[in-house]
Amino acid sequence: MNRNAQRILDEACQLPPEDLQWLVESLLIKGYPAPEAEIEAAWQDEIKHRLDQIDSGAVELIPGELVRAEIVQTLSEEARTRLRV
């Protein structure tokens, strides 16, 4: 490691935790951008897998209205009022 890199590392280690976290995340994002093609392929595989599960009957689909009603029941009275449910 050269002296500049060591100096930067030493200074970074003195940052407050939230600034250090931001710095690390920024370096990772810039240093290793996610390959678009790989991400797209992974999503396509996941979509196919889920559709295969539906087609085979391996998973049970739940109507959206039922899911929403169940979620609303978990909310406070104030939250339900805001939703006008």
Per-residue model confidence as pLDDT tens digits over 2-24? 889 999 999 999 999 999 999 99
Q: Mind listing the pLDDT tens digit for each residue in 34-74?
A: 688 888 999 999 999 999 999 999 999 999 999 999 999 99
How many Cβ atoms sit within 10 Å of the Cβ of residue 75? 13
| Vertex 80: Cα angle to 75 and 81 (nearest 5) | 150
pTM over 0.85: no
CA 62 to each of CA 54, 65, 67: distance values in angstroms, whole numbers, following the listed order: 11, 8, 7
The amino acid at 77: E
Contact 12, 23 (CB under 8 A): yes
- Predicted local distance difference test score (pLDDT) of residue 10: 92
For the chain, the structural domain boundaries read 1-33, 36-83
Contact 41, 33 (CB under 8 A): no
